[in-house]
Structure 1
Amino acid sequence: MPGCREAGEFRAPVSSHRSPDGPPPWRWLCLDHVREFNASYNFFDGMNADQIMAAQSPTAGWETESRAFRAAGSADLPPRWADFRDPMDALGARFRQRMDEARREAADPRFTREEHRALHTLGLESRADRGALRRRYSELVRRYHPDRNGGDRSHETRLGEVVAAYQLLRKAKAFA
């Protein structure tokens, strides 16, 4: 504000008119001037009754169309235009891990997708046998069980994941 020597730490819009091109320009005010601005600010200034009702609607702001939601898991697939030149790997890095998982799953069709995830949870290779599965399960249960950690229950979620993964894999055809 003209003549004010206080630091402008609080932002306020220059005008109440909203631009379709983005947020309004801001000005920076000190605490006293922003309080004064807020006391006189009227969001509905210049609106007629219908516009005020529309702005107060619980669905205000949801009128625009959005993309349809996709089935679970399909959102992480790479775009079809992924074969372009990307020297800084700005776009391709996002999909690398998912594509590596897909390649591993395709390389060993003995396991389902859930079984591949369970193998990953246990930290096992797909070529592991039933003995390796049991040893790894025992090792992880000893590591994460609260009785082995002085009653510390912070690893309880991880222990549940390990048990669920083992229960799935011990019934898998590949370990029969």
Structure 2
Amino acid sequence: MSEQQEEGRKKQSRFHGRVEGEGRRCAQAGCAEPGEFRAPGDRSPGFDGPGDWRWLCLDHVREFNQRYNFFTGMSADEIADAQRPLAGWERETRAFATNGGDVPPRWADFTDPLDAIGARFRDRAEALRKDGKPLSEGDRKALKTLGLGADADRRALRRRYTELVHRYHPDRNGGDRSHERALQDVISAYTRLKSAPAFA
């Protein structure tokens, strides 16, 4: 048998949880197959440890898995309680002490060298207009391109657009095309903003 065929045979024989080559026999009475799969033993996990394990062959571990029932020995109420969507999440947590060394930190105790927290709240504040009309992130970028504040109205928008088109247009600059990219950005920003809800 070639090395590739041997590797292919090994891959086909692999099962999740198989522990090969330990020389154990299947724990099922009368079975001579190797015990390569772990199954819970007689002593279940508890306070004093993880419990006992027994080793079974593939056929007997499949048989064990088909018979296994997590709810064995539970009452109907215990089963219903274990099946609730939030079962296990209602654990009590201790409260912070207010009189000892376990005091929660104050906001003033945090350092923010990159202004990550403050910048986030500042952006949120800049997003709001006095008239309450919404501004998206794209709208704010377009306003920045035009050099306008968040509270600009439709008239200010039109006036600023006209001013920038006159400044960057090649016809106004003796055919100089060096500001063409800036002109395209201005036109794109104005096109976006004139149909934005804040300027409707």
Pick the structure with greater CA Rg.
2
Bigger RCO of structures 1 and 2 (CA < 8 A, at least 6 apart): 1
Q: How high is the TM-score relative to the length of structure 2?
A: 0.39
Q: How high is the TM-score relative to the length of structure 1?
A: 0.44
